[in-house]
Amino acid sequence: MKSAYQRKKQPELVKEEILKATISLAEKKGLGAITVQAVAELAGITKGGLLHHYPSKQALIKGVFDTLMEEMDRDLEALMAKDKKAYGRFTRAYVELCFDCPEDDSQPWSALCVSVLVEPQLKKMWQTWMDKQLKKHRKTDSGIELELVRMAADGFWFTHLSHKTTSKQLQAKLKKALLAQTFKNT
């Protein structure tokens, strides 16, 4: 990016660069490496410029979380649009995303997922997002068996996140077994 003194004022572009820089730091060095100064330097803006858009580190992390949740919403919607069966559609899409893990932890979710467990603001945001999804899909995804499938998918995700590796064959079998549970009432 150009220096703050040379570029035109483009607040949306600046915010995007700030979020990209924050995600990059989280991916490479973990959430603890995120400081206002480090993000500003990586984004090529002044610390004051960053604070204009995100007045604190917490606001910055919330911005990243919001961005990632929007991306997850788009991914879920795309998966659900391909699914012809109504019952369990959200749960199947959720399982697909949970099992769509890279071999390493080189994605922003890795740093943020751990933070969801210990950071009250992120925990609340996750709970709010999930409650909204469950309310939105209550007619198709409210059964206890589907809740169990989603919890098992979360368990797989956190197991994968903690660097417990499983073979591709075992992952495929686990995913197939969970997805099969989502068709029980159809």
pLDDT digits (tens, 9 = 90+) for 66-116: 888 898 999 999 999 999 999 999 999 999 999 986 655 555 666 667 677
Do both 121 and 144 map to the same domain? yes
Domain-located, residue 186: no
> In degrees, to the nearest 5, what angle opens at C-alpha 179 toward C-alphas 176 and 182?
155
Domain-located, residue 60: no
Task: Supply the CATH number for residue 43's domain.
Answer: 1.10.10.60
- Within 10 angstroms of residue 26's Cβ, the number of other Cβ atoms is 23
What is the number of domains present in the chain? 2
Do both 80 and 170 map to the same domain? yes
Domain-located, residue 13: yes
Do both 81 and 126 map to the same domain? yes
* Residue recorded with tokens 């998966």: 79
Do both 120 and 35 map to the same domain? no
Do both 38 and 125 map to the same domain? no
Do both 33 and 111 map to the same domain? no
Looking at residue 107, what is its pLDDT? 59
What range does the domain containing 14 cover?
Answer: 6-55
Do both 51 and 88 map to the same domain? no
- Give the distance from CA 116 to its chain's centroid: 10
Helix intervals (H) in the chain: 11-29, 36-43, 47-53, 57-82, 89-99, 108-118, 120-136, 138-141, 144-161, 168-181
Do both 117 and 150 map to the same domain? yes
Do both 73 and 110 map to the same domain? yes
* Residue recorded with tokens 């068996």: 145
Looking at residue 6, what is its pLDDT? 56
Looking at residue 89, what is its pLDDT? 97
Do both 71 and 43 map to the same domain? no
State how far the Cα of 104 lies from the Cα of 114, in Å rounded to an integer. 15
Q: Is the dihedral of CA 8, 13, 14, 17 positive or negative?
A: negative
Domain endpoint, select from 33, 55, 77: 55
* Polymer length in residues for the chain: 186
State how far the Cα of 2 lies from the Cα of 4, in Å rounded to an integer. 6
Q: Which of 103, 102, 75, 89 is nearest to 146 (CA)?
A: 89
Do both 37 and 95 map to the same domain? no
**For the whole model, what pTM was predicted?**
0.82
| Residue ranges for the chain with pLDDT beneath 70 | 1-9, 101-112, 114, 163-164, 185-186
Dihedrals phi, psi of 137, to nearest 5 degrees: -110, 25
Do both 20 and 77 map to the same domain? no
Looking at residue 111, what is its pLDDT? 65
